[in-house]
Amino acid sequence: MKKLVSLLICLCMLVSVLPVIAAEPYIELNPLKYDEYMRGETIFVSGNTNIYVTLGLYAPEEAGGGAKFIMIYSPSEFLDGVTLETGHDASEWPDGIWKITVQSNGIEETLEFSLSETVDRTEDDFNDGSAPPTDPDKPNKPSGNGTTQVVLIKPEKTKLTLSAGESEKINIETSASSLSLEIEDEKVIDASISGKTLTVTALRVGTSAIWVKGSNNYADIKVTVTPQAEKPTEESTEEPTEKPTEEPTEKPTEEPTEEPTEKPTEIKPLPFKDVQSHWAREDISILYNLNIVNGMDDVTFAPENPVTRAQFVTMLAKAFNLDSKSTISPFRDVKSTDWYFESVMAAFENGITKGDEGNNFNPGSLITRQDMATLAYRAAKAAGKEFKTDDPVLFDDHASISAYAVESVYAMRSASVINGMSEDIFEPLGNATRAQAARIISRLISLG
């Protein structure tokens, strides 16, 4: 009996330890398929981690070594694999040694690959069984025979915007003897190729892609078809009849108004009952009087509710009087009919936001604290605000701050615009609240 009791105690102790062991972060990073790539190719990387992972692509040191892409992935997304397309432009994608760095809660792995104009590969390279999973939305690259030099296929344009009914010719720079085409959505566009000239015809509104294929390589061209060109109309100053799904009861903050850049002389009393004793009351009052924010209803501000990327960019656009005359969006998930369209376009045109590598802005996603700091920092710099660049005292969770956000986070802290969730903890991946957003923007506009 004593032996049985002892055995049960041991089993209980073992079970209690298992979650701790399973929770320990780790990274398994698969090597790149090739050590050498050329501009215009797609590279593939994947791994395994049980916590969120940050992937960064860095340019060669001789080109400045700056970050080209930095993205945050969930464990499942990273496990499925990430593809990064190298651009055709030599000024943006110079030859040399590129680095891929993967960070996960302080753990870091680095891979390197060289990028050059042309690459020699053997048949084994194409048929070694280590090729990444095929993308169902893209054609497979043809296999090589014997020792094969990958032939560069370089369209003069890799992004094209046409009005429905329009056509455009694109020249293809290549030494390939023949080219073929594959179209993603033939209902949106039609295309044909004669020699090295591609003709694209827009059929109806939508997005599609064309893959121009040689014997062992391809290039892709993204096409956006807009309605037939019309003269831009004056935007309505009335509230939209359809409100954003992220805040179904809130009066849209995107209502076009003439935003003052200084405090109004007459201060409107704050009508929101849930902020009368809140730590951000004064900041909310300032932005309310400047018509930068409204409430969820006439008497509720909901200061602890999270903020979406579209909502925060709209606040920034109003705070810094940013506007845009664009009628075409560079983002796949932002349409000209969206309530936040003008604000997102203004942010894009002023270098405040660039979207992700898939040309998405992710307007409905909740904004993280590090992204809030980054967008606000860029907006303030675009408006001529100056920040200190002294070496900072690092937060205890500094390793969790993505590389692209590091400068913004510490510059904003040095200017007393943003602080940590505690003295030593920043929580970069935590979701920002409406109160936090109001404080940051209020302090930014008060900076000299």
Q: Which residue, among 76, 80, 36, 83, has the nearest Cα to 57 in the 3D structure?
A: 83
Q: Is residue 266 part of a domain?
A: no
- Per-residue model confidence (pLDDT) at position 22: 41
* 363-391 residue pLDDT tens: 888 999 999 999 999 998 888 888 876 66
Pair (433, 336) in one structural domain: yes
Q: Is residue 394 part of a domain?
A: yes
Q: Is residue 96 part of a domain?
A: yes
Name the pairing type of β-strands 67-73 and 47-48.
unpaired
- Per-residue model confidence (pLDDT) at position 105: 67
* 345-369 residue pLDDT tens: 999 988 898 877 778 898 888 999 9
Model confidence at 419: pLDDT above 60: yes
Pair (293, 394) in one structural domain: yes
Stretch (H or E) spanning 67: strand 67-73
Pairwise CA distance, residues 10 & 7, whole Å: 5
Q: Which residue, among 191, 121, 114, has the nearest Cα to 151 in the 3D structure?
A: 121
Pair (197, 314) in one structural domain: no
* Neighbour tally for 190: CB within 10 Å: 15
pTM: 0.43
Pair (210, 87) in one structural domain: no
Cβ-contact 356, 71 below 8 angstroms: yes
Helix residue ranges per DSSP H, 44-136: 75-80, 123-126
Q: Among 92, 117, 142, give the residue marking a domain's end.
A: 117
Q: What is the CATH number of the domain that holds 95?
A: 2.60.40.1930
- Total domain count for the chain? 3
> Percent of the chain scored above 70 by pLDDT?
74
Cβ-contact 427, 420 below 8 angstroms: yes
Q: What is the CATH number of the domain that holds 198?
A: 2.60.40.1080
In sequence order, what E strands does 94-217 have? Answer: 96-104, 107-116, 119-121, 148-150, 153-155, 159-163, 167-174, 180-183, 189-194, 197-202, 206-213
> Percent of the chain scored above 90 by pLDDT?
10
> Which region among 12-16, 190-194, 374-378 has the lowest average model confidence (pLDDT)?
12-16
Pair (183, 41) in one structural domain: no
Q: Is residue 146 part of a domain?
A: no
49-53, 188-192, 238-242, 265-269 — which one is most confidently predicted on average? 188-192
Pair (187, 325) in one structural domain: no
Q: Higher model confidence: residue 23 or residue 375?
A: 375
Pair (32, 78) in one structural domain: yes
Q: Among 117, 139, 170, give the residue marking a domain's end.
A: 117
**What is the span of the domain harbouring residue 42?**
28-117
In sequence order, what E strands does 185-263 have? Answer: 189-194, 197-202, 206-213, 218-226
Pair (110, 155) in one structural domain: no
Pair (364, 220) in one structural domain: no
Q: Higher model confidence: residue 235 or residue 419?
A: 419
* Neighbour tally for 396: CB within 10 Å: 12
- Per-residue model confidence (pLDDT) at position 149: 52
Token couple for 202:
């827009």
Pair (433, 334) in one structural domain: yes
Pair (322, 188) in one structural domain: no
Q: Is residue 320 part of a domain?
A: yes
- Per-residue model confidence (pLDDT) at position 41: 78
- Per-residue model confidence (pLDDT) at position 440: 92
Pair (344, 397) in one structural domain: yes
52 band by pLDDT with thresholds 50, 70 and 90: low
